[in-house]
Amino acid sequence: MTDQNAQKHATLYRMVTDKHICPFGIRSKDLLQRLGYSVEDHHLKTREETDAFKQQHDVKTTPQTFIDGVRIGGYDDLLTHFDVKTLKQEGTTYQPIIAIFAVTFLMACALSWLLLAALNFNVILKLFIAVSMCVLAILKLRDLYSFSNQFITYDLLAMRYVRYAYIYPFAEALAGIGMIAGIMTPMVSIIAIFIGGIGTVSVIKAVYIDRRELKCACVGGNSNVPLGFISLTENLMMVVMGIWMLA
């Protein structure tokens, strides 16, 4: 039992000051404890103490973990050492857009049940598209500059008139809110058809004609969502919804 406990002992040095607590130090401690290690947790409470530790052990970053007196390294080194996978997003991924559409669909179902005490397909479809547009607009509006930088690389109108990239999220939000409220139907429909139509043509040209590998700005700037089928579907949904409302 003593030998087993000794094998399961780790020493962790991490930065914990009045102004900063290192998140990777917390992750390192949590990982070690979940793997059955007793953790001797040393807090580096000042910048001077942290710098002295780095110099002493010839390392550039903290936290640092030692097991059986051998330095394993930082949090990423721990993951590699124990061959542990994380939810950290690397490279292109559809995860953000899948999460958004899944939640907005459930919201649409919940609203349909609240309003009608039933799951009505037409109501769910309308609310799903409208709520999705509002959520996507929020993500774009949180950083207009980053969104516009990504958007102007493939949207045909934004390439020519950069200001359109700044107008687009507001137009998307207005159309979504109008659909939910059922007001200003002609204007809301025209906006949805206009921005969705330009988006559809832009995606088709960039992805399927020019064969460019681009990131989609649909969930805001600096996203890792690839421009492609889902982006095309999103724009087509706006066009169809706009036509449906007009009809």
Alpha-carbon span 50 to 56, nearest angstrom: 10
**R_g (Cα) of the chain, nearest Å:** 25
Tell me, what amino acid is at 51?
D
Q: 9-82 falls under which CATH superfamily? A: Glutaredoxin (3.40.30.10)
Please list the alpha-helical segments (H only) found in 64-151: 75-82, 95-116, 121-141, 144-151
Cβ(111)–Cβ(97) below 8 Å: no
Integer Cα distance of 65 and 38 in angstroms: 12
pLDDT band per the 50, 70, 90 thresholds, residue 93: confident
Higher pLDDT, 69 or 155: 155
Domain with CATH 3.40.30.10 in the chain: 9-82
For the segment 134-184, what is each residue's pLDDT rounded down to a tens digit? 999 999 999 999 999 999 999 999 999 999 999 999 999 999 999 999 889
Lowest mean pLDDT among 76-80, 87-91, 101-105, 238-242: 87-91
DSSP at 207: I
pTM: 0.81
pLDDT at 89: 67
- Residue 229 has a pLDDT of 86
- Residue 1: what pLDDT? 42
Annotate 82-118 with b (16+ C-beta within 10 A) or e (fewer). eeeeeeeeeeeeeebbeebbeebbebbbebbeeeeee
Interatomic CA distance for residues 171 and 194, integer angstroms: 10
Task: Centre a 10 Å sphere on the Cβ of residue 165 and count the other Cβ atoms it contains.
Answer: 22
CA distance 238 to 247: 14
Cα distances (angstroms) measured from residue 116 to each of 40, 41, 112, 119, 124: 58, 56, 6, 8, 11
Span 85-102, average pLDDT: 83
